[in-house]
Amino acid sequence: MNRHESPADIWADGDHELGEGARWVDGRLIYVDILAGRLLEVVEDGRRTPRELLRLDVPLGAVAPVYGRPGHWIAAAGTGIALLTPDGRPEWLARPEEHSPVPTRMNDGVCDPHGRFWAGSMPYDGTLGAGSLYRTDPDGSVHRVLDGMTIVNGPAFAADGDLLYVADSAAGVIHRCTLDRDGNPTGREEFARVTAGGSPDGMTVDDTGRLWVAVWGHGVVHRYRPDGTLDATIPLPTPQPTSVCLVPEGGRLLITTARHGLTGATGVAGAVLAVTVDATAPAARAFGAP
């Protein structure tokens, strides 16, 4: 295993309580501050100052762009899945966690290469097995795909969209699922387990099939080969990285972080960090893209 030697620098300053969901969309970084319900962007304009695009009155876990509708998003928010207009007005497609036995919110989410939006949920109190993974099809229908997990994070996809990676952060496990053409799991295996402290959080797959994982609580990013071998560790100057985004043009890994739960001087917690890497990944896929 290699220890990555390039230092992590502040790429965009910020004091976000729970930055998450980093995605590269139309030449800019898009991400959320979950508990504040904020959607933010950072443009490469020299200053790289975060700008609020919209704000919800419920937690905002993650978004993906909507195909052919600039400024519109599909979102994992509150207790369900919504379409968002540029002014932040939600059109709810479904709220599957609205009447859960314990208070539960939506968490991380991403579109696969087939234009389907996948998002996980998590109980506020950490009740074991109360989290689920949902798939939203281009027709707007929402389906529970996996259950029995606790804090559902990730999801990330291989280039063809037929391999799904999803983390159960509370268990420290990253699962890999094979999918059929309709997006239903046909197999599931333990891909990797984080054992050296911390929990797997946001993830992305690069163009060579390697999985990059933010490790919450341990202040590192892990990189795994397609066979599940941990082949690189990237140390960070803050303990709570939350998500990772590889810039399509190459050369940069962007990492959102959080200050949630930290006390005293929090340093760079809440900023977006950047590390020089030799890797690329596609820009964020759009919901409903053909």
98: in domain:
yes
281: in domain:
no
For residue 250, what pLDDT is reported? 77
Tokens representing residue 69 in the block: 């509708």
Tokens representing residue 130 in the block: 């109360």
231: in domain:
yes
**In whole angstroms, what is the distance from residue 116 CA to residue 134 CA?**
10
* Chain centroid to CA 234: 18
Question: Is 139 assigned a catalytic role?
Answer: no
Give pLDDT < 70 ranges for the chain.
Answer: 1-5
CATH number of the domain enclosing 37: 2.120.10.30
Catalytic residue among 33, 201, 231, 278: 201
* pTM as predicted: 0.96
> Which domain, by its residues, includes 271?
2-276
| Rounded to 5°, angle at Cα 229 from 165 and 150 | 35
For residue 5, what pLDDT is reported? 57
For residue 78, what pLDDT is reported? 98
170: in domain:
yes
Pairing, β 2-3 against β 230-235: parallel
On whether the CB atoms of residues 15 and 40 are closer than 8 A, the answer is no
287: in domain:
no
> What one-character-per-residue DSSP string does the chain give?
-EEP-SPPEEEE----SBEEEEEEETTEEEEEEGGGTEEEEEE-SSS---EEEEE-SS-EEEEEEBTT-TT-EEEEETTEEEEE-TT--EEEEE-TTTT-SS-EEEEEEEE-TTS-EEEEEEETT--TT-EEEEEE-TTS-EEEEEEEESSEEEEEE-TTS-EEEEEEGGGTEEEEEEE-TTS-EEEEEEEEE--SSSEEEEEEE-TTS-EEEEEETTTEEEEE-TTS-EEEEEE-SSS-EEEEEE-TTSSEEEEEEB-TT--S--TTTTSEEEEE-S---PPPPPBT--
66: in domain:
yes
**In whole angstroms, what is the distance from residue 46 CA to residue 43 CA?**
8
For residue 3, what pLDDT is reported? 61
For residue 195, what pLDDT is reported? 85
Tokens representing residue 197 in the block: 């402290």
166: in domain:
yes
Q: Which residues contact 146 (CB under 8 A, 6 or more apart)?
A: 132, 133, 152, 166, 177, 185, 188
Q: How many CB atoms lie within 10 A of CB 45?
A: 8
176: in domain:
yes
pLDDT tens column, 214-252: 999 999 999 999 999 999 999 999 999 999 999 998 789
pLDDT tens column, 19-37: 999 999 999 999 999 999 9
For residue 66, what pLDDT is reported? 98
Structural domain count of the chain:
1
